[in-house]
Amino acid sequence: MSRLGDLGARLYRGEIGVDFVGRRKIWYGVSVLITVLAFAGVLIRGLHMGVEFEGGAVFTTSATEVSVEEAREVAEEASGSQALVQTLGDDGSMRIQVSGLDTDQSNATREALAEELGIPTDSLNAEVIGPSWGDQIANKAWQGLGIFLVLVVIYLAIAFEWRMALAALIALIHDLTITVGVYALVGFEVTPGTVIGLLTILGYSLYDTVVVFDGLKEQTRHFTRQTRYTYAELANRSLNGTLVRSINTSVVALLPVGALLFIGGGLLGGGMLNDIALSLFVGLTAGAYSSIVIATPLVSDLKSREPEVRAQDKRVLAKRAKRADGAEGEEHPEDEAVASGAEADDEPVEPADDESAAPAGVGAPRGPRRQPAARSRGRGRPSGKRR
Amino acid sequence: MATPKKDLGSSRKRDLGSRAAQGKPGRALFLIVLIMGGLIGGMFASGHTSPRLGIDLAGGTSITLSAVPDGDNQDAINTTNLNTAVNIIERRVNGLGVSEAEVQTQGDRNIIVNIPKGSDEQQAREQVGTTAELGFRPVLSATSAQPLPEDTGEGTGDTGDTGETGDTEGSADTGGSEETADSGDSADSQDSAGTEGDTATEGDTGAESDTTDQGLAPLGQGGSATTASNASFTTDQADEGDTGGDTGDTGGDAGDAATDPAQQEAAELQAQLDALDCSTDEARLASSRAAGQADPEEPIVACYPDQDAKYALGPVAVPGTDVTDASAVYDTQRGQGWIVQMEFSTAGAGRFADVTADLATQVQPMNQFAIVLDGEVVSAPSVSERLGGGRAEISGSFTQETSEDLANILKYGALPLSFEEASVSTVSPTLGGEQLEAGLIAGGIGLALVVIYMLVYYRGLSLIAVASLLVSTVLTYTLMSLLGPAIGFALNLPAVCGAIVAIGITADSFIVYFERIRDEVREGRSLRPAVERAWPRARRTILVSDFVSFLAAAVLFVVTVGKVQGFAFTLGLTTLLDVVVVFLFTKPLMTLLARRKFFSSGHSWSGLDPKRLGARTPFRGARRGPAPVQPDVKEA
C-alpha cells in the first residue's frame, strides 16, 4: 500500500502524471477506432438476439441423466424447430432453447421433454416468450434511454455547465457503443438481462465521470485569476489528482460485478445473473476508461474554444514564454528530468517553469531547486491547488 | 500544529451553525440506530422477516399479457380499461382457488399474472388467456347450491316472510307458482326439496339485504318494482304504458308455447342442475368451463357463487355485445342507493324488449334474467314488465363497488381489451432456490472482495467502510422485507442483481470521502480538520453522482417493463440508502473516530499515516499553513 499511497500522493501533487489532455488526440483516435470497430461489428456481424427478443421458448432442467444429444432430438421432434441445448454447470442440468414457437407448440415440447427426462411437467422450467414481448422491452429501453439522457444532460448542465454535460453525454454514448460492439464482435447473446446491464451503465458510467468533473470544476474555479496554467493543464492536473479515486471507485464497482459474473457464468452456466453482469462488466470498464481519457479532454477542448479561456491561455503562454526566455539555458536539463517522470511533453514542463519562477522571485538561484525536487514542487503545488 | 487546530475550531463552529448533525456526530448516529431499530422492530412486529420472493426465485408461473390494439380502436388501451381487465382476470384466477395469485398492470399495456407454485398452472393459463363471453340468459329454474338440509328449513321460513309479507302480489304469486312448477318438472321429492332450498336462499338474502341481488327497472320509474322481489329489471318510463299490455299477451302465449315441447328437455336440464356441484371452487371452475364452452343456442346450467345458487338457463337471449354502455349511478331521486344503468344497441334494444316482455309474464324464478359471464352467473335480476327503449337499470342492494363491478362487466362484455400472452415463464422451486442461492453467494463474494480491497488499500479506514456497508445491508434488507407487504415489492433475480451492484455504488461513496480526507492530510492538515474540510466537498460529489444514479433508476422504473423494473427499484432504493448511510453514519463515525488516537496520530495501520500519504512535513505545514487555509475555509 505504501507504494500505492505514495503513487497517489505524487499524482495528487502533480509530480507524476499521465498527460491525458495533451495527448488527447491519441486517446480520441483509440476511441474512434474502437467505435468504428463496434459499428462495423454491429453492421457486419449483427447482434445475436436471444430468444426473448425473437419469440420462442427456453426450458431449463434440473440435474438429469439425459444427454445433450437426446434432449436436442426430443426438443426438435416435438417442436419442429431447431433447438439449442447447453449444459449448465457440471451436474447435468440443461438449458434448451427453441426459437419461433408459439404457446401451444412450446407446451407440447415441454411435455415431450419432461417425459423424456422422466420428471413431472411442472418441474421443467419453461419460459415462453411471444415475439412482440422483446420488441416491447427494447422499445421501452430505448425510450428510457432517451428520457434519461435528456434529463441527465439538463441536470449536468445545471450542476456543472453545458460543456461538461455534452462531454459526459459523448462519453456515455461512447461506453454504450463499445459495449454493444463487444457484444456484436464476441457474439454474446443479447437478452433482457443484457438490456438491464446496459441501462445500468447509464447511471454508473456517469458516476465516475461526475467524480472526475467535480475535481475539474474545483480545480478550474479560479482559472482566470492565475497565470500559471492553461486550462488544458489544469484539467490534466485535476484528472491526475483524482486518478486514484477514479481507479478505486471503478475497481470497487467492478468487484461485485465480477463476482456475479463468476458465479452466474461459472456456477449457473448462464442465465439472467450472467447476462446482467457481463454487460455491466464490459460497460463499466469502458466507463472507467472514457471518464478519464474522453470526458475530461473533451471538456478541455470545448472550454479552450471559449474566448475568455482562450485569452487567458494566451496570457499564460505569453508569460511562460517570457519566463522561459529569461532562464532558457539552464532550464532544459530540468525539463527533461521531469518529463521522464511523466511522459508528457507540455504539462510537466510547466510546473518546472513555475518552480523556477517562484524561487527566483524569492531570490534563491537554481541550485537548491534541482536537488530537492520534491520539496520545491510540493511547495508549488498547493498554490496551484488553492486556486 | 497550532494552526490546524485553529482551523479545526473554526470549521467546527461553522458546521455547528449550519448543520447540527455534522457538529454532533452522536446525534446522527443515534438517529440511524433509531431508524435501524425501528425498521428491525417493524419487521419482526409485522412478521415479515424476509423479503417476499418473486416467482423466479420462489417458483411458480408468471404470465405477461400484452394488450393488442384493435384496428379501429387504438385508444382502448388506457388505464381504466387495463384496470378493469385486471379486476376481471383477478376474479377468474381467484375463482381457481389460487391463493395469493397476483394480478397487476405493468407499463401502459401489460398485465402480469403471478401464480405461485402449487396451483394448477395449466388451468390458470387457460383461464387467464381466454376471452370471456357475456350474455343474458333467461332463468329456467333455480336451486340452492347448498346441499345442507338445515338451510332448507331456515330458508323456507324466510321465503315465507319475504315473499308474502313485504312484497307485492306478483312476488307472492311467484313463490307459489314456482313451487308447483318445480315439483311438476321434477319427479324426485329430493329435487323439490332442493328447489325449495333455492328459493329459500334467495329469499334469505333478499331479506337480509346484504347481498347484491338485483332488480331490473325502467329508468325513472318508482321503486315498487325494485323491492318487489330480490332482483328486478326496469326500463324507460316512456314504454311503460305499452309494456303492461304487451306483457300480458306475449307472456301468456310464450309461456304456453314454451312449456309443452320443452317438457322433455327441461327434465334433462333439471337433472343436470341437480348434478351440478357449486360447493367448491374446483367444481365451480369445472362447471363454468363447461358452461362457458357451451353453444349460446343451448341451455346451460350454471352457478351463481355470490348467491350460493345454481340455475338452469335458457339459450342466450341477448348477447353481451348488444350492451353499448353501462354505468354505476347513485340514485338520489328514489333512494335506491347504487344502481346500474345500461344501454343497448338498436338490435339489442329490440331483443331485450321482446325477452323482457316474455319474462315479465313468468313466475319466479322464471322471470329472472341471468347475466352470465364465463359460464358463471354474475347477476340474475327479475323482470316485472317489458323493458323497451334500449335503456334499463338494475337495482337492488348494491354497494358502490358491486355496482361498478357489474357495470364494468356489462360494459366490456368480458375483458375490455384483447390480450396476447407476451411471455410465460414457469420456474420450479428448485431452480428458483438455486438462483437465489447463486445470487446470495455472488453477493457474498462481491462484498468480501470489496472489503478485502478496502482493507488492503485503506487499512484502518476500511473498518468504517465495512461498518457502513453493514448498516446499509441491514437497512436494505429490512426495507425490502417491509416493502413486500406494503407495496407488493417482490425480490426477483434482477433485484438481487441490483442489490449486489449497489455494493459498489455504496462503497464508492466511502472512497470519494476517504480520498478527500487523504488529500487534505497530504496538504499537511492533521486528521480532525482534514475530516471536516473534506466532508463538504465529498458530500457534493456524492450527492451529485448519487443523484445521477437515482435519476437513471427512476427513469428506468417509470418507463420500462418486466424484469428491468425490479432491478431499477432496488438500484434506486439502495442509492437513496447510500445517501442516508453516508450522511447519518459514515460521516459522524468518521468524525468520532478522528478523535481517537489510533487515527489522529496517523498510526501506520490507520490508513491515514501522513508519511505514507506523502504529506508535507509539519514544519512546512506550520510555516505555510495559514496562507492556504484562509481562502479554502470560505469555499468549504
B605 touches A: beta carbon within 8 Å:
no
Under 8 Å between Cβ of B64 and B422: yes
**Could you tell me the pLDDT band of residue B71, with boundaries at 50, 70 and 90?**
low
- pLDDT tens digit string along B214-227? 556 555 443 333 33
- The reported pLDDT for the residue numbered B530 is 84
Under 8 Å between Cβ of B515 and B607: no
* pLDDT greater than 70 at residue B421: yes
> Which residue out of B126, B430, B431, B606 would a mutagenesis test of the A interface target, given it has the greatest number of A Cβ atoms within 10 Å?
B431
Q: Regarding predicted confidence, which is higher, B239 or B588?
A: B588
Question: Are residues A137 and B562, on separate chains, in Cβ contact within 8 Å?
Answer: yes
B438 touches A: beta carbon within 8 Å:
yes
Please name the residues between 29 and 68 in chain B that touch chain A, using a CB distance below 8 Å.
56, 64, 66
Under 8 Å between Cβ of B312 and B273: yes
- pLDDT tens digit string along B592-618? 888 877 777 766 667 667 666 666 654
Enclosing H/E stretch for A118: none
- The reported pLDDT for the residue numbered B526 is 79
- Measuring CA to CA, which residue among B263, B248, B203, B271 is closest to residue B362? B248
CA dihedral B571, B573, B574, B580 (to 10 degrees): 150
Domain ranges of chain A: 2-49+133-307, 56-129
- The reported pLDDT for the residue numbered A296 is 84
Return the residue of B nearest to A277 by Cα: B497
Return the residue of A nearest to B436 by Cα: A273
* pLDDT greater than 60 at residue B228: no
Q: Regarding predicted confidence, which is higher, A57 or B266?
A: A57
Question: Are residues B553 and A203, on separate chains, in Cβ contact within 8 Å?
Answer: yes
Q: Nearest CB to B427: which of A125, A245, A263?
A: A125
Under 8 Å between Cβ of B142 and B213: no
* pLDDT greater than 50 at residue A175: yes
Work out the angle at residue B623's Cα, subtended by the Cα atoms of residues B621 and B628, and round it to the nearest 5 degrees: 65
Give ipTM to 2 decimals: 0.73
Domain ranges of chain B: 59-131+420-426, 134-143+211-407, 428-635
Question: Are residues B457 and A4, on separate chains, in Cβ contact within 8 Å?
Answer: yes
Work out the angle at residue B330's Cα, subtended by the Cα atoms of residues B324 and B335, and round it to the nearest 5 degrees: 125
Question: Are residues A6 and B439, on separate chains, in Cβ contact within 8 Å?
Answer: no
Distances in whole angstroms, Cα of residue A345 to Cα of each of A316, A348, A350, A376: 17, 7, 9, 20
Question: Are residues B450 and A252, on separate chains, in Cβ contact within 8 Å?
Answer: yes
Q: Taking residues B443-471, report their average pLDDT.
A: 87
Q: How far is B393 from chain A (nearest CA, A)?
A: 41
* pLDDT greater than 70 at residue B5: no
* pLDDT greater than 80 at residue B584: yes
Distance CA B255, CA A30 (A): 91
CB neighbour class for A43 (10 Å; exposed up to 12, middle 13-18, buried from 19)? exposed
* pLDDT greater than 60 at residue B192: no
Question: Are residues A204 and B505, on separate chains, in Cβ contact within 8 Å?
Answer: yes
Contacts of A148 in chain B (CB under 8 A): 551-552, 555-556
| Sign, CA torsion B210/B215/B220/B223 | negative
Please give the interface size between A and B, counted as residue pairs whose CB atoms are below 8 Å apart: 275
Three cell numbers written together for A9: 500522493
Distance CA B616, CA B299 (A): 97
Fold of B59-131+420-426: Alpha-Beta Plaits (3.30.70)
Q: Nearest CB to B548: which of A206, A248, A259?
A: A206
Distance CA B129, CA A387 (A): 68
Q: How far is B129 from chain A (nearest CA, A)?
A: 11
List CB contacts of A206: < 8 A, sequence separation 6 or more. A152, A168, A172, B545, B548, B549, B552
> Which residue out of A51, A123, A137, A200 would a mutagenesis test of the B interface target, given it has the greatest number of B Cβ atoms within 10 Å?
A200
Q: Taking residues A327-333, report their average pLDDT.
A: 50
Question: Are residues B511 and A128, on separate chains, in Cβ contact within 8 Å?
Answer: no
B633 touches A: beta carbon within 8 Å:
no
Contacts of B423 in chain A (CB under 8 A): 52, 127-130, 133
- The reported pLDDT for the residue numbered A365 is 41
Fold of B428-635: Multidrug efflux transporter AcrB transmembrane fold (1.20.1640)
Q: Is B136 left (phi over 0), alpha (psi -120 to 50) or beta?
A: beta
3-state helix, strand, coil in chain A (%, to 5): 75, 5, 20
Distance CA A338, CA A316 (A): 20
Please name the residues between 533 and 592 in chain B that touch chain A, using a CB distance below 8 Å.
537, 540-541, 544-545, 547-553, 555-556, 559-564, 567-568, 571
Q: Taking residues B304-312, report their average pLDDT.
A: 75
- The reported pLDDT for the residue numbered B249 is 40
pLDDT, mean over chain B: 69
Lowest-confidence range among A99-108, B244-253, B321-330, B518-527?
B244-253
- The reported pLDDT for the residue numbered B570 is 87
* pLDDT greater than 60 at residue A329: no
B400 touches A: beta carbon within 8 Å:
no
**Could you tell me the pLDDT band of residue A15, with boundaries at 50, 70 and 90?**
low
Three cell numbers written together for B147: 346441499
List CB contacts of B264: < 8 A, sequence separation 6 or more. none
- pLDDT tens digit string along B95-135? 555 556 677 777 777 888 887 776 566 666 666 655 556 77
Contacts of A253 in chain B (CB under 8 A): 501, 504-505, 507-508
Under 8 Å between Cβ of B216 and B369: yes
Distance CA A61, CA A52 (A): 18
* pLDDT greater than 70 at residue B145: no
Entry field: residues in chain B = 636
Please name the residues between 486 and 525 in chain B that touch chain A, using a CB distance below 8 Å.
493-494, 496-498, 500-501, 503-505, 507-508, 511-512, 515, 518-519, 522-523
Question: Are residues B424 and A151, on separate chains, in Cβ contact within 8 Å?
Answer: no
Q: Regarding predicted confidence, which is higher, B168 or A297?
A: A297
Percent of chain B past pLDDT 70, that is, above it, reads 61
* pLDDT greater than 50 at residue A338: no
Distance CA B356, CA B360 (A): 6
- pLDDT tens digit string along A56-69? 788 877 766 777 77
Under 8 Å between Cβ of B548 and A210: yes
Lowest-confidence range among A102-111, A183-192, B35-44?
A102-111
- pLDDT tens digit string along B314-335? 888 887 777 777 778 887 777 7
DSSP state of B274: H
pLDDT, mean over chain A: 73
Q: Taking residues A280-308, report their average pLDDT.
A: 85
Question: Are residues A245 and B549, on separate chains, in Cβ contact within 8 Å?
Answer: no
Return the residue of B nearest to A262 by Cα: B442
Helix H, strand E, coil C: the string for B380-419 is CCEECCCCCCCEEEEEEEECHHHHHHHHHHHHHCCCCCEE
- The reported pLDDT for the residue numbered B410 is 73
Q: How far is A211 from chain B (nearest CA, A)?
A: 6
- The reported pLDDT for the residue numbered A48 is 78
Question: Are residues B107 and A140, on separate chains, in Cβ contact within 8 Å?
Answer: yes
Distance CA A60, CA A73 (A): 16
Q: How far is A52 from chain B (nearest CA, A)?
A: 9
Q: How far is A106 from chain B (nearest CA, A)?
A: 10
**Could you tell me the pLDDT band of residue A1, with boundaries at 50, 70 and 90?**
very low
> Which residue out of A107, A149, A245, A383 would a mutagenesis test of the B interface target, given it has the greatest number of B Cβ atoms within 10 Å?
A245
Residue type, B549: S
Contacts of B615 in chain A (CB under 8 A): 9
Three cell numbers written together for B128: 387467464
Q: Taking residues B336-352, report their average pLDDT.
A: 82
Percent of chain A past pLDDT 70, that is, above it, reads 74
- The reported pLDDT for the residue numbered A127 is 77
Under 8 Å between Cβ of B381 and B233: yes
* pLDDT greater than 60 at residue B93: yes
B24 touches A: beta carbon within 8 Å:
no
Fold of A56-129: Alpha-Beta Plaits (3.30.70)
* pLDDT greater than 70 at residue A382: no
- pLDDT tens digit string along B460-470? 888 888 899 99
- The reported pLDDT for the residue numbered B226 is 33
- pLDDT tens digit string along B54-64? 777 877 778 88
pTM, to two decimals: 0.64
Would you tell me which CATH number, out of the four given (3.40.50.1820, 3.40.1440.10, 1.20.1640.10, 3.30.70.260), belongs to the domain A2-49+133-307?
1.20.1640.10
* pLDDT greater than 80 at residue A278: yes
Q: Taking residues A191-219, report their average pLDDT.
A: 80
- The reported pLDDT for the residue numbered A79 is 72
Question: Are residues B497 and A196, on separate chains, in Cβ contact within 8 Å?
Answer: yes
Question: Are residues B426 and A122, on separate chains, in Cβ contact within 8 Å?
Answer: yes
B261 touches A: beta carbon within 8 Å:
no
What one-character-per-residue DSSP string does B485-505 give?
A: HHH---B-HHHHHHHHHHHHH
Distances in whole angstroms, Cα of residue A198 to Cα of each of A154, A183, A195, A275, B134: 21, 11, 5, 10, 46
Q: Nearest CB to A155: which of B66, B551, B616?
A: B551
* pLDDT greater than 50 at residue B264: yes
Return the residue of A nearest to B545 by Cα: A207
B148 touches A: beta carbon within 8 Å:
no
Percent of chain A past pLDDT 90, that is, above it, reads 0
Q: Nearest CB to B428: which of A123, A141, A207?
A: A123
Contacts of B552 in chain A (CB under 8 A): 148, 152, 199-200, 202-203, 206
Return the residue of B nearest to A213 by Cα: B541
Q: Nearest CB to B548: which of A143, A207, A262?
A: A207
User: Phi then psi for A239, rounded to 5 degrees?
Assistant: -60, -45
Q: Choose the most confident range, by mean pLDDT, from A118-127, B84-93, B442-451.
A: B442-451
| Sign, CA torsion B405/B410/B416/B418 | positive
* pLDDT greater than 60 at residue A251: yes
* pLDDT greater than 60 at residue A216: yes
- Measuring CA to CA, which residue among B435, B431, A93 is closest to residue A85? A93
